[in-house]
Amino acid sequence: MQTPQALLSFENLTLGYERHPAVHHLQGTLFKGDLMAVVGPNGAGKSTLLKGLMNELRPLGGKIRWVEKRPSLAYLPQRSGLNLDFPLRVSDFVSLGHWPRLGAFASVGRKQRQAVGHALAQVGMQGFEKRSLDSLSGGQLQRILFARLLLEDAQLLLLDEPFSAVDEQTTADLLKLIHQWNQEGRTILTVLHDLRQVRQHFPKCLLLARDAVALGPTPEVLTDDNLAKARNMQAPFDPLAPVCEADLEEAR
């Protein structure tokens, strides 16, 4: 078996908003080809961590160290953060997945149109090319978002609650795609709430409750003890709280 190669390390990483931390002093390594779930209570900092990886947030402290150069990244935001209620054609929307590699102003040729058709077929949405986004059901929309991810062809995939409000069959189909991407050597970080799903499909896990409770093989992370710790550590985000208690402690 090959020795796993590190993709990035979190070095005492603190992320937050207006100087108030939402993820504290995170340490750990993500390896190339990891299939990792990020779990924790509401407000634990899971989406914040993905935003940090996307460079949407600058660390308040510490850093993310990419071992080689930053790989290509694709991000699936939480559905609640998306406004897709406009009459864009499905095929035009999925075509946007070509942008990161071709640029926004490149013309879409026959090869790219075929790739759109192929991606739609892979998510079971062939024949939907001309439908408008605002006519789709929630599960169909999620399949379309996955089709766009397919075209992005990124090495690191960040998925924020990809199965929320999605039925069992759609979840099973999308999980299959995630496994396929992983078998192709891509690294996948997925925010999830369903621990049964995590145990069944994600060999590695990061349990967050603003601080990292544990990171490693899923059976070692999702223990009763760790889950109880996560529940106890979870404190509501307080905009009036000191900037970071751990930092204050260090300064004393």
Ligand X SMILES: Nc1ncnc2c1ncn2[C@@H]1O[C@H](COP(=O)(O)OP(=O)(O)OP(=O)(O)O)[C@@H](O)[C@H]1O
Chain residues in the site for ligand X (CB under 6 A): 17, 22, 40, 42-48, 237
Based on CB atoms, which residue is closest to ligand X, 1 or 240?
A: 240
For the chain, the farthest-separated pair of C-alpha atoms sits apart, in whole angstroms, at 64
Q: Nearest distance from residue 96's CB to ligand X, in Å?
A: 24
Distances in whole angstroms, Cα of residue 39 to Cα of each of 24, 31, 154, 221: 15, 18, 23, 10
Q: How far apart are CA 33 and CA 131, in angstroms?
A: 35
Q: How far is the CB of 157 from ligand X (least distance, A)?
A: 17
Residue (6 or 54) nearer to ligand X, CB: 54
Which of residues 22 and 244 has its CB atom nearest to ligand X in the complex? Answer: 22
- Residue closer to ligand X by CB (options 99, 237) is 237
Tokens linked to 190:
């997925």
CB 2 to ligand X: min, Å: 33
The CB-of-26 to ligand X minimum distance in angstroms stands at 12
CB of 24 to ligand X, least distance (A): 11
Q: Say if residues 30 and 189 touch (Cβ distance below 8 Å).
A: yes
> How does DSSP assign 154-170, residue by residue?
-SEEEEESTTTT--HHH
- Give 48 or 218: the residue with its C-beta nearer to ligand X: 48
CA distance 26 to 14: 7
Nearer to ligand X, 145 or 192 (CB): 192
Q: Which two tokens stand for residue 226?
A: 């760790």
Provide the minimum distance between the beta carbon of 160 and ligand X in the complex, in angstroms, as a whole number: 7
**Cβ nearer to ligand X, comparing 46 with 148:** 46
Task: Determine contact, residues 73/101, Cβ cutoff 8 Å.
Answer: no
Beta strands in 67-222 (DSSP E): 73-76, 156-160, 187-191, 204-209, 211-217
**Residue nearest ligand X, Cβ-based:** 237
Angle at 186 between CA 181 and CA 190, to 5 degrees: 80
Q: How far is the CB of 209 from ligand X (least distance, A)?
A: 9
Bridge-based pairing of strands 61-66 and 73-76 is unpaired
CA geometry: angle at 101 spanning 99 and 103, to 5°? 45
